[in-house]
Structure 1
Amino acid sequence: MSRSLSTRRLRASLLGLAAAGLLAASAAAQAAWPDRPIQMVVPFPAGSSPDILARAIAEPLSADLGQPIVVDNKPGAGGNIGTRFASKAKPDGYTILLTINGPMVTAPTLYKKTLGYDPLKDLAPITLVGTSPNVLVVPAGSPAGNAQEFVAMAKSKPGELNYGTVGPGSSSHLAMAMLEHQAGIKLQQIPYTGFPQIITSILAGDIQAGFMVPGIAMSQVKAGKAKILGITSLQPSDVLPGLPTMAEQGFKDFESISWDAIFVPAGTPDDIVRKLNAAIRKVIERDEVKAKMAALYFTPAASTPEELTALVVNEKKRWDEVINRLGLSLD
Structure 2
Amino acid sequence: MSAFPAFGQDAWPTAPIRVFVGFPAGSSPDTLARVVTDELAQRLGQPIVIENRPGAGGVIGVQQMLVSAGDGHTFGTTINGPLTTAQRMMDSTGFDIETDIMPVSLIATSPLVLAVSADSDIVDLDSFIAAAAAEPEAIAYGSVGQGSGAHLTAELFATEADISMLHVPFTSYAEVTTSILGNEIDAGFMAPSAALPFVEAGTMRMLGMTSTEPFAQAPDVPVIAGNAGLPEDFRAELWNAFIAPSGTDAAIIERLNTEIAEILADPGVQERLLTIGWQAAPGSPDDLRQRITDDTAMWGGVIDRVQAR
1:258 matched residue in structure 2: 238
1:42 matched residue in structure 2: 21
Gaps of 5+ in 2: none
Aligned pairs for 1:240-279 within 5 A: 240-246=218-224, 247-253=226-232, 254-279=234-259
Determine if contact 2:65/2:75 at 8 Å carries over to the other structure.
yes
**1:145 counterpart = 2:147:** no
Gaps of 5+ in 1: 1-25
Determine if contact 1:159/1:186 at 8 Å carries over to the other structure.
yes
SS in 1 for 2:197: helix
Identity of aligned residues (%): 33
Determine if contact 1:131/1:260 at 8 Å carries over to the other structure.
yes
**1:178 counterpart = 2:156:** yes
Deviation of residue 27 (structure 1)? 5.5
SS in 2 for 1:163: strand
Determine if contact 1:49/1:213 at 8 Å carries over to the other structure.
no
Q: What do you get for the CA RMSD once the two structures are aligned?
A: 3.2
TM-score (norm 2): 0.80
Letter in 2 for 1:287: P
Determine if contact 2:170/2:176 at 8 Å carries over to the other structure.
no
2:206 matched residue in structure 1: 228
Please give the alpha-carbon distance, in whole angstroms, between the structure 1 residues aligned to 2:7 and 2:100. 26
- Does the C-alpha gap of structure 1 residues 127 and 139 become closer, same or farther in structure 2, counting only changes over 3 Å? same
**1:62 counterpart = 2:41:** yes
Deviation of residue 125 (structure 1)? 0.7
Please give the alpha-carbon distance, in whole angstroms, between the structure 1 residues aligned to 2:223 and 2:54. 30
2:173 matched residue in structure 1: 198
- Does the C-alpha gap of structure 1 residues 276 and 108 become closer, same or farther in structure 2, counting only changes over 3 Å? same
- Does the C-alpha gap of structure 1 residues 179 and 34 become closer, same or farther in structure 2, counting only changes over 3 Å? same
SS in 1 for 2:260: helix
- Does the C-alpha gap of structure 1 residues 91 and 277 become closer, same or farther in structure 2, counting only changes over 3 Å? farther
1:302 matched residue in structure 2: 282
Write out per-residue CA displacement over residues 109-138 of structure 1, whole angstroms, 9 at most, x where no aligned residue: 233x33322222221111111223221133
Letter in 2 for 1:203: T
- Does the C-alpha gap of structure 1 residues 310 and 33 become closer, same or farther in structure 2, counting only changes over 3 Å? same
Determine if contact 1:75/1:81 at 8 Å carries over to the other structure.
yes
> Which moves more between the two structures, 152-161 or 257-266?
152-161
Structure with greater proportional helix content? 1
Aligned pairs for 1:1-331 within 5 A: 31-36=11-16, 38-111=17-90, 113-150=91-128, 158=137, 161-165=140-144, 168-181=146-159, 182-190=161-169, 192=171, 197-199=172-174, 201-203=176-178, 205=182, 209-237=187-215, 239-246=217-224, 247-253=226-232, 254-324=234-304, 326-328=305-307
- Does the C-alpha gap of structure 1 residues 235 and 128 become closer, same or farther in structure 2, counting only changes over 3 Å? closer
> Which moves more between the two structures, 169-178 or 229-238?
229-238
Letter in 2 for 1:227: R
For these two proteins, the number of residue pairs brought into alignment is 296
TM-score (norm 1): 0.75
Letter in 2 for 1:134: L
Determine if contact 2:131/2:139 at 8 Å carries over to the other structure.
no
Please give the alpha-carbon distance, in whole angstroms, between the structure 2 residues aligned to 1:120 and 1:213. 30
Please give the alpha-carbon distance, in whole angstroms, between the structure 1 residues aligned to 2:14 and 2:116. 46
SS in 1 for 2:143: strand
- Does the C-alpha gap of structure 1 residues 93 and 207 become closer, same or farther in structure 2, counting only changes over 3 Å? farther
Write out per-residue CA displacement over residues 78-137 of structure 1, whole angstroms, 9 at most, x where no aligned residue: 3333233334331433332222222212221233x3332222222111111122322113
Write out per-residue CA displacement over residues 220-270 of structure 1, whole angstroms, 9 at most, x where no aligned residue: 432334331211134544553221233413334532122221101212222
SS in 1 for 2:292: helix
Please give the alpha-carbon distance, in whole angstroms, between the structure 2 residues aligned to 1:110 and 1:313. 16
Letter in 2 for 1:281: A
SS in 2 for 1:294: helix
SS in 2 for 1:263: strand
1:16 matched residue in structure 2: none
- Does the C-alpha gap of structure 1 residues 86 and 149 become closer, same or farther in structure 2, counting only changes over 3 Å? farther
SS in 2 for 1:228: strand
Deviation of residue 305 (structure 1)? 1.3
Please give the alpha-carbon distance, in whole angstroms, between the structure 2 residues aligned to 1:53 and 1:316. 23
Deviation of residue 52 (structure 1)? 2.6
- Does the C-alpha gap of structure 1 residues 218 and 42 become closer, same or farther in structure 2, counting only changes over 3 Å? farther
Please give the alpha-carbon distance, in whole angstroms, between the structure 2 residues aligned to 1:223 and 1:59. 34
